[in-house]
Amino acid sequence: MDILQTILNTQDGGAVRQLGSQFGLPPEKTESALEALVPALAAGLQRNMGSEGGLQGLLSALTTGGHDRYLEDPGTLSDPSATEDGNGILGHVFGSKDVSRQVAQRASEQTGIGVGILKQMLPLVATMVMGGLARNTAASEDSPAAGAPAGAGGLLAMLTPLLDRNRDGSVMDDVIGLAGSVLGRRTET
């Protein structure tokens, strides 16, 4: 299961409903926001996994960070510590508040949701992404015989469907295009 589907389906969509209620969005707009924001976060996570110590750092955060609580108990998303946690995640994933702002701007253009709302929503979405990854990583470690991938392969399996937008089997052209659009550059693919 990819990370977006994990977020949408855990607790029958409880975290999605909680997120929407916090920002006054109906379910379809909340899902639209997630569909626009989660792939940018997935691309950042995948990029970080390729850096020195990135994969080990991510696996450590997933196993010790308690991020799964954001999906398992959606009410935790309203706690100020969830925003603080999310801002920390965004710092690691994007490295700059400017990139976070650009991600929110692009998502606003895609969804019609105000950029201000998306900027406030982005840290909580980051916590939900980490929660989904933590949940799936724990599940794959508990039942490797069920065919669930573990470790780096499992993380890539959860992130790749979001990144391969044109379904050509290669995420590189899509990641390059996404990175270029987030950074405001045109790229040739």
Chain segment 20-43, per-residue pLDDT in tens: 999 999 999 999 999 999 999 988
Instruction: Report the candidate in 180, 162, 164 with the shortest Cα–Cα distance to residue 34.
Output: 162
For residues 111 and 130, give the distance between their C-alpha atoms in angstroms, rounded to a whole number. 23
Chain segment 73-91, per-residue pLDDT in tens: 999 999 999 999 999 999 9
What pLDDT is stored for residue 58 in this prediction?
77
What pLDDT is stored for residue 60 in this prediction?
78
Average pLDDT over residues 152-158: 53
For residues 92 and 71, give the distance between their C-alpha atoms in angstroms, rounded to a whole number. 21
Residue scoring higher pLDDT (135 or 148) = 135
